[in-house]
Structure 1
Amino acid sequence: MAPEPTKPTLKPEPASSPQPAEDSQTEETTLVSALSLLHQMHQKLALLRESIPHMVQPIMKASAYQTPELLFDDFSKRTLKASEDLVEFTKLVSDGKWVFDKASDSRREGGVEAGEIKRWKSSAPVPHYLKDIVEGTEGISKDKEAKKKEEEEKKERKRLEAERSKERELEIAEVKGLESEDVRKGILEEFKKEHSDLEITFEEDGKVLKVAIPKPVGLTFSIEIPQAEAESNRYIVTLPTASYLHVLILRSITTRPNAGSLKYLLDMIATYKTIYKTKCNKCNKLTQGPKADLPVIRRLKRIAKLVQKEGKEDGGSGQEKDKMDTAGDDKTAKGAKDANPKIKKEPEEQKPQEENDGADDGAEVELVEEFWVTYHEGCAT
């Protein structure tokens, strides 16, 4: 018998050809699942941020409930709901731990430049809660140098402004001894002329000075005059603390510097006439919280400023005027002086007349300005 002819065998196709497509599809499915899980986490977290305000709302609006039982019932329901939301979020994060592990592994394996991953730009719409992040990080590499340059320019501008202004803060002379009766009388007379709207009276045979600020402030301060036999020269101030605002004011006055100066104390009390209008010098806000947290801290500052004097122009009147940092408007400078009568010119050293001829052009004059600054208790520190 003749042997049967052998059939040609076909070489099988390599099984590895469809594998990349399957791996790519599996990876895409995994990434979609991870993104969906992260989206759920973000939504739950956004709800948790509102949990406490939502939970305490019945307490904040207790007057809206007819009975305490209704208030407690609503509060209990809201508390239970917040607890359930927290448990759900904790479980969701625990179940999605693999997403964070996968991200960490991906950074280690495929990261460039010390773990930074190049952003993949997708044609899919960006969720609204990620828009700010995406828009902010897209130009991060381009903006780094620009921001650095801008910060350097700001520092340079501040340095130049400081050099131009030539300002320095001066110490305020502290009254260490006991002020005499004549000194107090002169201080009171001058204070009454400047603040005629305040009511000033003496009680207890001149041992207590009452200073009353009219409404809408409506505050009456009692100042104990230190006697000759007293161990301290400190003026003790009392104020009926009928509200939280009164407590803050009294605390500010009690902790004031220069406690032995009656002028400092009276000027400080006078600043509270505009307490409902004066904003904080640091945050520029009138109030900071739900309570009557107005800016009550008052501090006196004394600033010395070097300014240029204008010389005589050809055919001019020969009058010299100080060039201050205003808009170059004489009316503006005059208004600034009227608004703050504390501005004064320090006496210049007397020089022989022959040395001053033609030497006043471009001369510098030192002006000293005293003014009160205002802070919230949180801004003063």
Structure 2
Amino acid sequence: MKKNRHGADLYALETKYHYRPEDIRDFSSNINPLGPSPKAMEAAAKNIRALCRYPDPEYRKLKAAIGDYLNVDQAAVLLGSGTSQLIQEAIAFIKPARALINSPCYSEYARELEKIGAEIFEYHLDYHKNFSIDVNEIIARINEEAVDLYVLTNPNNPTGSILTRADVARILDETSAHVLVDETYIEFTDPAIYSAVSLVKSREKLIVIRGTSKFFATPGIRLGYAVTGDEALHAALAADLSMWGINAMADVMGRVMFQDVAFREESFRLIQREKAKVIAALEAKGALKVFPSYGNFVLVKIKDKSRRAAELREALLAKKMVIRDCSNFKNLDERFFRFCLLDPESNEALVKAIDDFFKTS
């Protein structure tokens, strides 16, 4: 079975093109261009000898930091080795007979649902409606198909579309389904409006999962966390997730990064400013349909039916830039591509390179 890739395989590109990974502008991985929290990096450097001892098996300080960040009791926090482990464990426990996912979306959900033999239904996001998610249609579909589990990435990858917390509450209140919300990209928007975390106190069939790979720019520490209103699910996940499953650096950095307010605010401002600027520049070209996005990434469709995203990707690789060809996403075709926002200089270079491609091709 072919493995899923999260962004570009920089090491394969190093071999094929003889590029150094650090010289490649990676617009495919959706990672915060500011890098990790400076305070978290400082904590890692000062506590390097933490690698010489076992972490606290209960991760008390880490859970306390996450609990403060989410405004929940630290006892409610579940930890995993990235969001993938938590998604796998939650789906395996709920074991839905019938599940609904959006299309297109992150492919891992379908893979995990297939493992447990679930019947998978897809809610097709409409290109003509900017891939928006209609909560009334979701509720109707869940009830019509007797769906046990609805899986939602919020904001959705790769479309950037989103539901509000009030929308998620309606789904829980007007259906009998469990709802798994993957909030991997929630910090790139306004959590006060869109995050479902506060609902776990009153909705027992909700689980919200987050990670630190994207906004906190630390994919290497493999830290994911979750909260749920389902006591049986919480107990099962707490029992199944292995002792010392979170490495020492994740423990050290996680205690600090969530409390770095200045870093969080700077990251949010940068992404909003750059996203508006880049979208405006690309829309002005006329060759592209650019979709609105609540994430730190943007989905684009090439209007010319004779051009393919794969061709654009290859042209950009010659300039040491990597975008995501989205032709392998369900419900998209060979003219769709996605890119994330980097620093202002890199974003300007990307816009120019895309413009050059359409002028010369």
TM-score with structure 1 setting the length: 0.20
Report which of the two structures shows the higher radius of gyration computed on alpha carbons: 1
| Higher RCO structure, 1 or 2 (CA under 8 Å, sep 6+) | 2
TM superposition score normalised by structure 2: 0.21
